[in-house]
A and B are shown apart, each in its own frame.
Chain A
């Protein structure tokens, strides 16, 4: 029987033999094979037709996925479902709610901090724009985005040309921790 890798790993984790579902089917096939000759036999002393055990009406073939789900769900090696008593459910629920609350508070706190930082930055820029008294010249220079992604370029004559900005490749989104791969020392442009 072919199983998806996920199911296979599940079966190995639960130590369930995966060749098992083919067994009952083969058994059924052999059983019907045994019964067939006895149908033709008739009792010599009776005129009534012998009643025979009815074969279970199997109906249309079930979906393979459903069969597999049932097999794994009701297999004796499958651990029993997690059932808690009333009080234990309530305790579980309490702990869950408290954890959710903590997470929520943490998130809200972070959001507030971000908002505070943004507001402080904005106030500083406003101060630069209006409070310095140079008609906003410093401010304009500070917010100018001209050539920030340009970088240096070695010209054909050997000198450096370009606008001297920070190359876009150096840009990394700000995160709380360092990247997983660390700094790429071997990187060169182009």
Chain B
């Protein structure tokens, strides 16, 4: 038996009413807390980073809120008028509609609210420190070099101050539960230092360790580069297929140019060179292995927010030096390791740009015996990201190679028989 409405407790009814009036901010009588609202967040963010995204516009009517529509009729109306699909299940939406819709920050738990108060006070202190640090940096930049004790001392001091400033920016936001939530949902804005910091921590906790293990297990480090300390996350995909570091890739899959995602964790745009090198090309003349370049592109702009680098979409005139050559391995040869290297170009802005036309001319005949280590040394490039995959002969290789028009492929390698150890004849005495 359904209870009549007036038996609902007054407080609950009060909250219910709030929903029917619309999902706006609660009236002051609902506020359980003495702490300030999160309205100050936007201001604080703007002090930290100038580029804050505008908040999404509020839905025009709460009856057509995609989070809350719960009848088929309303859903249809939502799609017709706003062109939006409802979010989540109908059951969830109905539950949301019936809930009192208190924002997370205003949840009426005393300990939680006290904790928020403590954290917000700390944040205010940190913001003050940030402002102070900015002032100090400005003052140091304006003081003449002679008073600071020389060029080197001034530079070092400024560098340390900037580093401290970055630390403070992270510390100001690290205790915010909403930031944690947004990061876990993958909605973090990589323009802000806190999200970059969290992403970096997450990457280093697992993915980077795997990458480093593969690199050392498959001897990428002494073979292709003497030392690698990746600071940017690089993920590789062919079409929609993600490739784990060191995975064997079918030659038919790797026929099409790859797609890289380069995620740097420090701010600013930089130009990078991407090189793909095969380190296990058999060399019959020397009875050894050489290397080959499968792809080389320069002047690719990468920043924390623009991370996608599809090889097929790069322009031939301004980026690509050597176009994609499908990885292949002859029958019988051991597997080939293909290292993908992301090398940062020195300098800033236009100074960092490399001469594409000149490189195209000079590298045209240098696909074979290409060494990424020497290339990086010659152009003063610094490796910031690595990836690795392997390829071996399979059923599709023949077709791939014919389509790519590669010559001299029809070789089948066989293992050399190891020379037998000379048989040492035992003296006959023992067998009598």
* Cβ contacts under 8 Å, B79 to chain A: none
Name which of A97, A99, A101 has the most chain B CB atoms within 10 A of its CB: A97
* Chain A CB within 8 A of B177 CB: yes
* Chain A CB within 8 A of B180 CB: yes
* Chain B CB within 8 A of A163 CB: no
A72-96 to B contact mask, C-beta < 8 Å, 1/0: 0000000000000011001101110
* Cβ contacts under 8 Å, A90 to chain B: 104, 177, 180-181
* Chain A CB within 8 A of B336 CB: no
B89-132 to A contact mask, C-beta < 8 Å, 1/0: 00000000000000010010101101110110010000000000
A90-B180, A91-B109, A91-B112 known; A98+B104 contact, CB < 8 A = no
Name which of A93, A95, A101 has the most chain B CB atoms within 10 A of its CB: A95
A98-B115, A98-B118, A98-B175 known; A93+B180 contact, CB < 8 A = yes
Contact present for B119 and A97 (CB under 8 Å)? yes
* Chain B CB within 8 A of A102 CB: yes
Determine how close the nearest CB of chain B comes to the CB of A169; give it in whole angstroms.
45
Contact present for A93 and B118 (CB under 8 Å)? no
Query: How many of chain B's residues have a CB under 8 angstroms from any CB in A?
Result: 15
Give CA–CA (A91, B116) in the complex, Å.
Answer: 9
Q: How large is the interface on A (under 10, 10 to 19, 20 to 34, 35 or more residues)?
A: 10 to 19
B232-272 to A contact mask, C-beta < 8 Å, 1/0: 00000000000000000000000000000000000000000
Contact present for A95 and B111 (CB under 8 Å)? yes
* Cβ contacts under 8 Å, A98 to chain B: 114-116, 118-119, 175
Determine how close the nearest CB of chain B comes to the CB of A154; give it in whole angstroms.
60
Determine how close the nearest CB of chain A comes to the CB of B41; give it in whole angstroms.
15
Determine how close the nearest CB of chain B comes to the CB of A23; give it in whole angstroms.
42
Name the one of B107, B115, B181 contacting A97, with C-beta atoms under 8 angstroms.
B115
A101-B122, A101-B175 known; A94+B116 contact, CB < 8 A = yes
Contact present for A99 and B107 (CB under 8 Å)? no
Contact present for B175 and A91 (CB under 8 Å)? no
Give CA–CA (A93, B174) in the complex, Å.
Answer: 12
Contact present for B112 and A94 (CB under 8 Å)? yes
Give CA–CA (A187, B202) in the complex, Å.
Answer: 60
* Cβ contacts under 8 Å, B180 to chain A: 90, 93
Give CA–CA (A97, B177) in the complex, Å.
Answer: 10
Contact present for B104 and A87 (CB under 8 Å)? yes
Name the one of A87, A93, A101 contacting B107, with C-beta atoms under 8 angstroms.
A87
Contact present for B119 and A91 (CB under 8 Å)? no
List the B residue with the shortest CB-CB distance to A104.
Answer: B122
Give CA–CA (A86, B111) in the complex, Å.
Answer: 17
Contact present for B119 and A94 (CB under 8 Å)? yes
Give CA–CA (A87, B111) in the complex, Å.
Answer: 14
* Cβ contacts under 8 Å, A87 to chain B: 104, 107
Give CA–CA (A105, B181) in the complex, Å.
Answer: 25
Contact present for B122 and A91 (CB under 8 Å)? no
A87-B107, A90-B104, A91-B107 known; A99+B115 contact, CB < 8 A = yes
List the B residue with the shortest CB-CB distance to A91.
Answer: B112
Name the one of A91, A101, A102 contacting B177, with C-beta atoms under 8 angstroms.
A91
Give CA–CA (A101, B116) in the complex, Å.
Answer: 11
* Cβ contacts under 8 Å, A93 to chain B: 177, 180
* Cβ contacts under 8 Å, B181 to chain A: 86, 90
* Cβ contacts under 8 Å, B122 to chain A: 101, 105
* Cβ contacts under 8 Å, A105 to chain B: 122
List the A residue with the shortest CB-CB distance to B119.
Answer: A98
* Cβ contacts under 8 Å, A102 to chain B: 118
Give CA–CA (A97, B123) in the complex, Å.
Answer: 13
Contact present for A94 and B107 (CB under 8 Å)? no
List the A residue with the shortest CB-CB distance to B125.
Answer: A105
Determine how close the nearest CB of chain B comes to the CB of A105; give it in whole angstroms.
8
Give CA–CA (A143, B116) in the complex, Å.
Answer: 50
A36-57 to B contact mask, C-beta < 8 Å, 1/0: 0000000000000000000000
Give CA–CA (A90, B177) in the complex, Å.
Answer: 6
A90-B180, A90-B181, A91-B112 known; A97+B175 contact, CB < 8 A = yes
Name which of A87, A98, A105 has the most chain B CB atoms within 10 A of its CB: A98
Give CA–CA (A102, B118) in the complex, Å.
Answer: 8
B405-424 to A contact mask, C-beta < 8 Å, 1/0: 00000000000000000000
List the A residue with the shortest CB-CB distance to B116.
Answer: A94
* Cβ contacts under 8 Å, A91 to chain B: 107, 109, 112, 177
Name which of B112, B180, B181 has the most chain A CB atoms within 10 A of its CB: B112
Name which of B111, B115, B116, B118 has the most chain A CB atoms within 10 A of its CB: B115
* Cβ contacts under 8 Å, B112 to chain A: 91, 94-95
* Cβ contacts under 8 Å, A86 to chain B: 181
List the A residue with the shortest CB-CB distance to B174.
Answer: A97
User: Besides A90-B177, A98-B115, A98-B175, 11 other CB < 8 A contacts?
Assistant: A87-B104, A87-B107, A91-B107, A91-B109, A91-B177, A94-B115, A94-B116, A95-B112, A98-B114, A101-B119, A101-B122
Show 15 A/B contacts (Cβ-Cβ < 8 Å), sorted by A.
Answer: A86-B181, A90-B181, A91-B109, A91-B112, A91-B177, A94-B112, A94-B115, A94-B119, A95-B115, A97-B119, A98-B119, A101-B118, A101-B119, A101-B175, A102-B118
Closest 10 CB pairs of A and B: A98-B115, A98-B118, A95-B115, A90-B177, A97-B175, A94-B177, A91-B112, A94-B115, A98-B119, A95-B111
